Amino acid sequence: MAGLGPGKGPGGAAEPRPLLVKIVMAGESCVGKTSIVRRYTEPGSPPAGSPATSYMATIGIDFKVKPVMFNDTRVKLQIWDTAGQERFHTLSTSYFRGAQGFVLVYDITNLKSFQSITIWMNDIYEKAGDEVDVILLGNKCDKESERVVPKQKGEKLAWEYGMPFFETSAKENVNIEHAFSVLTKEILEKIKFCSFAFQQYVSDELSALLNSQFVY
């Protein structure tokens, strides 16, 4: 992929490697996870739900890479698309470990997919810890006439978990780019804060050590 390895900047100086961020898609089968990833990483592909596309369940696991720039930081998003089918559940959740962010998806026309969000959240906490960044997406908002999950219910659930929420349409490209950009921003802020806290800790420890040397 062009421009992702260590290269030369405009002035000939070596550019730092892009920051690798692992994001995992989660949610029931058929809610639109693959379509959202394709919409985001392959903008030219036929839209989900159009006659040119037919549903093919994800078998096992797949990932796509999306390079993005964020406030002068080069970021390489590695987006893992898991299979929502029950028979792949153990395999899918085994990829949750080490993820920095999750895109948790339900389908606004499928009540069961919304009701299972709590179960998915438990899986996320169990495998990736409860400090991880998660965003909740109510997908297929273009199908308003078939809606069974009111928007307020999605907002309330997201509020209870303290996570951002968007209704999206992979078919009509509603809120997809925005959702990923909000998640990336949250992850980067956390990384920045952690590295600051670590530096602070090292510097405090170092000062304490130096001070103790001068006691004599």
Ligand X SMILES: Nc1nc2c(ncn2[C@@H]2O[C@H](COP(=O)(O)OP(=O)(O)OP(=O)(O)O)[C@@H](O)[C@H]2O)c(=O)[nH]1
Interface residue with ligand X, options 135, 166, 171, 183 (CB under 6 A): 171
Provide, rounded to whole angstroms, the least separation between the CB of residue 1 and ligand X. 23
Closest CA to 35 of 184, 183, 185, 176: 176
Cβ neighbours, 10 Å, residue 137:
30
Residue 84 binding ligand X, by CB under 6 A: yes
Q: Does 55 bind ligand X (CB under 6 A)?
A: yes
* φ, ψ (nearest 5 deg) of residue 62: -150, 155
The only residue of 22, 34, 103, 154 in contact with ligand X, by rule CB under 6 A:
34
Site for ligand X contains 23 (CB under 6 A): no
SS3 state of residue 115 = helix
CB 148 within 8 A of CB 138: no
The answer for residues whose C-beta is within 8 angstroms of residue 179's C-beta and 6 or more apart is: 103, 135, 137, 164, 166, 168
Q: Report d(CA 78, CA 93) in Å as an integer.
A: 16
> From the list 26, 83, 108, 132, which residue makes contact with ligand X (rule: CB under 6 A)?
83
For the chain, state the CA radius of gyration.
20
What residues numbered 150-169 form the site for ligand X, per CB under 6 A?
169
Residue 32 within binding range of ligand X, rule CB under 6 A: yes
- Rounded Cα gap, residues 54 and 199, in angstroms: 51
Of the two residues 93 and 188, which places its CB atom closer to ligand X in the complex?
A: 93
Contact flag: residue 101 with ligand X (CB under 6 A): no
Of 72-80, 138-146, 183-191, 202-210, the window that binds ligand X (rule: CB under 6 A) is 138-146
Q: How far is the CB of 57 from ligand X (least distance, A)?
A: 4
CB proximity list for 45: less than 8 A, separation 6 or greater = 38, 39
Q: Does 35 bind ligand X (CB under 6 A)?
A: yes
Taking alpha carbons only, the member of 159, 85, 92, 158 closest to residue 127 is 92
Q: Residues touching ligand X: how many (CB under 6 A)?
A: 23
Residue 75 or 124 having the CB closest to ligand X: 124
User: Nearer to ligand X by C-beta: 83 or 132?
Assistant: 83
Interface with ligand X includes 31 (CB under 6 A)? yes
Q: Which residues bind ligand X (CB under 6 A)?
A: 29-35, 48-49, 53, 55, 57-58, 83-85, 139-140, 142-143, 169-171
